[in-house]
Amino acid sequence: MKVIGKNIPRVDALGKVTGRAVYADDIKIPGMLYGKVVRTKYPHARILSVDVSKAKALPGVYAVLTAKDIPGSNRVGVAITKDQPIIADDKVRYMGDAVALIAARDMKTAEKAARLVEVQYEPLPVVVDQEEALSPNAPKIHEKGNLICHHKVRKGNIEHGFKEADIIVERLFKTQMIEHSYIEPESVVAEPLEDGGVRVTGCMQNIYTTRRVLSAVLNLPLHKIECVQTHIGGSFGGKDDSMNIIASRAALLALKTNRPVKITYTREESMIDSYKRHPYKLYYKIGLKKDGSICAMEIKIFANGGAYASMSEFVTWRSVVQATGPYRVPNVSTDIYAAYTNLNYTGAMRGFGSPQIILANETLMDECAQLLGIDPYTFRKKNLFVTGDTTATGQVLPGYVSINDVVDAVVRASDYLNKWRMYKERQGEPAVKKRGIGLACSYRGVSLGAEGADFGSCVVNLQEDGTATLSIGITDMGQGARTAQAQFVSELLGLTLDRIKVLEINTSRSPDSGPTVASRGTLIAGNAIKDACSKIRKTLERVATDFVGASQEFVFEDNMIINPGTKESVPIERVIRECVKRKLPLSEAGFYAAPYTNWHEEEGQGLAYFTYVYGANIAEVEVDTETGKVEVLKVWSAHEVGRAINPEGVKGQIYGGVAMGLGLGLIEEFEFKDAVPQTINFDEYLIPTSMDVPEVVPIIVENPDPVGPFGAKSVGEPANELAAPAILNAIFNATGKRITETPANLEVVLLGKKLKK
Ligand code: MOS
């Protein structure tokens, strides 16, 4: 292959490094107003009255909107439950809720007007803990009660399974709320259109989802709404719902004032408003036989959904499916509950319900090895999936199962076993600084699986000069999607990369490819592009026959069409010109529908995902036993990705994923006091810096998947889910102390638990 599997530089790199790339907040339109959100003063309160008269009277103010001004629905959502208001009406449920919206000639005036909005509240008691939220006496956040959803998995016979066990372990794990920390805060510009519709341009991760929400809120048909995506300054799953809300707010103001309106959140607004990663409480119980095999697992998980349902229904489903990890477990009973609280709502974030369960499960697996008196690698090898095994949901794993290869690769590269033994022996020594090494493994369903309609579409448009444009709905939010897409077109049509342009995403012009989530971008885009390009090739081959003779296997390479039999070749643009003369189509739509999946909610069984990826991380750490400070020295990260379309891109995902995982494991926590956010800028909300991130050794394992384009599967989210548990297990290897709570900050490492603030 010419370009697939090669380290192709990013197609969007030059624009970004020269500053020519346009981000949402760069946009200025003549006559544009500035929008401001007036937010609640209480995390939970009944709204008694909203008086906007003084704000409206302020010179330079063009509109002040309350919930009454919303023409359509004021209850939106991206999953199943639609419960989130664009502007709060009866109640406020978290500190990010809006009570009014303002459009003014400049930001200063808008801010002044915001202070003039008078709201009377009746404060209500708050609930912050997800388990407490489900007790009958908890304050009710929504009419229907505080349960957002419950999913389960049932396999075998759990009582029977535990009866066979020689060792039974029960552990509770707790994970924290964390922030996506994209560098670019939420930003959109809304413009009224001449037909009464609206255009919203901004950093939305999924513009078709945004359009759906806008349609409901504005009471406009889809075709009158145009959503345009700018470059995105990071998302990590975070520019889904939050962007729908800000887009709706800007569009309401634009239609009311009949002028363009821009809203860009400050960092503080972004952190107060946006959704986060779900904090989980995970109760794990596992039964082991003396021979080292797992006979039963019983799991109960409580997810903190915050004020609105958002993606909770889908996030927790992925958790319940994957909760027992890449291991053979004959008897399984898993339950997960998501509950409303008065914290920020929680939704999609890189990993999407997997980092929490892997953290718990992999820490537990390490402890199981300890209790059996064997090393963590040998214990895992005894139980890891092999080809033909059945998952907890009763699915026979498709294709060759590579997890053993992945684990072996990372164990070999890091000299894990020798180091693990050496550090274990040194645990009792009096040294202040102690080293340790830890292993963690995972498997992950690729794409949406049974949680959604899994399809992709695109248009490839061949130009008369032998160049091509690609229009597709799969988003580049920094992960390199456009580059991979250009590589697919290049490989399939034999065009050099300088001849390909991947177009901006616009709901009026680009075909919908479903949301860019669930590490589905490469597989979905590649397959849709393959479909379009194979149609174009058929046309070109028919005409090329007249130039270079007939062949069963034309080669498309370096902008030429080659007959390998006659060795004759013709420039592709000559064939194209001939196609134009003969009135043949050179623009083709491509479509891809993912293979069948299913889910039986009642039985807790199903064919959850059409294929899986496998990963393993090893972390080596040094723990200061006097301060509890953990320094991560090195991380080896192995991922089976099917096929690496752009190896440097895959490595980039691994480096970033490990850094983010380190943040989850050791550093980050979005904190509240009585449901009021406390860490609302990066002076207090700490993320890893370049000084915290160690050397990362990426190991790419290939195992081309029959479903993937050129065999490609995914890496974006898997790369993020393994560093934290590997680090926690390394801390144990160094100190003999088991960490069951994140972040493993100084208190947790030193004292075993977080001190209450
Ligand atoms: Mo992603 S966390 O599936 O947007």
End-to-end CA distance of the chain: 58
The Å distance, Cα 653 to ligand 1 centre, comes to: 14
376 plus 248 within the same structural domain = no
Residues 376, 305 within the same domain: yes
The answer to whether the bond into 136 is cis (omega within 30° of 0) is no
Closest-lying ligand 1 atom to the alpha carbon of residue 351: 2
Quote the CA–CA distance of 617 and 636 in Å, as a whole number: 6
Do residues 323 and 250 share a domain? no
Please state, in angstroms and rounded to a whole number, the distance separating the CA atoms of residues 709 and 13.
24
* 358 found inside a domain: yes
Residue 730 alpha carbon to ligand 1 centre in Å: 28
Same domain, 566 and 604: no
Rounded to two decimals, what is the model's pTM? 0.98
Q: What is the CATH number of the domain that holds 224?
A: 3.90.1170.50
Can you give the pLDDT at residue 689? 96
Question: What would the two tokens of residue 12 be?
Answer: 């969007």
* Domain presence at residue 47: yes
Q: With contact defined as beta carbons under 8 Å apart, do 611 and 693 qualify?
A: no
Counting the structural domains of the chain, the total is: 3
Is 191 in the same domain as 289? no
Q: What is the mean pLDDT of each run of 10 residues along the chain (757 residues)?
A: 96 95 97 98 98 98 98 96 98 98 98 98 98 97 97 98 98 98 98 98 98 98 98 97 98 98 98 98 98 98 98 98 98 98 98 98 98 98 98 98 98 98 96 98 97 95 98 97 98 98 97 96 98 98 98 97 97 98 98 98 98 98 97 98 98 98 98 98 97 97 98 98 98 97 96 78
Cα 703 to chain centroid, rounded: 23
Q: What is the pLDDT of residue 198?
A: 98
Around ligand 1, the residues with Cβ closer than 6 Å are 237, 240, 348-350, 352, 517-518
- Evaluate whether 574 touches 458 at the Cβ level (below 8 Å): no
Question: In this predicted structure, what is the pLDDT of residue 757?
Answer: 55
* 181 falls within a domain: no
pLDDT for 752 equals: 86
582 and 669 co-located in one domain: no
pLDDT of residue 754: 83
Atom of ligand 1 nearest to the CA of 517: 3
Question: Does residue 160 lie in a domain region?
Answer: no
Among 574, 593, 612, where does a domain finish?
A: 593
Probe residue for ligand 1, chosen from 180, 209, 350, 474 as the CB with the greatest number of ligand atoms within 8 Å? 350
Residues 297 and 214 in one domain: no
Residue 518 inside a domain? The answer is yes
Reduced to 3 states (helix: H, G, I; strand: E, B; else coil), residue 502 is strand
- How many angstroms from the chain centroid is the CA of residue 492? 29
pLDDT for res 533: 98
Nearest C-alpha to atom 4 of ligand 1 is from which residue?
A: 237
| Domain shared by 630 and 693, yes or no | yes
Q: Residue 753's pLDDT is what?
A: 84
Q: From the CA of 620, how far away is ligand 1's center (Å)?
A: 28
Q: Are residues 575 and 608 in the same domain?
A: no
Domain of 316? 280-449+600-751
Q: Same domain for 624 and 694?
A: yes
Residue 133 lies in a domain: no
The reply to whether 130 falls in a domain is no
**348 alpha carbon – ligand 1 mean position (Å):** 5
Residue to mutate (ligand 1; options 208, 352, 446; most atoms within 8 A of CB): 352
Q: Give the pLDDT score at 756.
A: 67
Residue 197 shares a structural domain with residue 331:
no
Domain C-terminal end among 231, 264, 297: 264
Instruction: Among 593, 617, 645, identify where a domain stops.
Output: 593
Question: Under 8 Å CB-to-CB from 471, ≥6 apart: which residues?
Answer: 458, 459, 460, 461, 503, 509, 510, 511
Q: Is 421 a domain residue?
A: yes
Same domain? For 211 and 109 the reply is yes
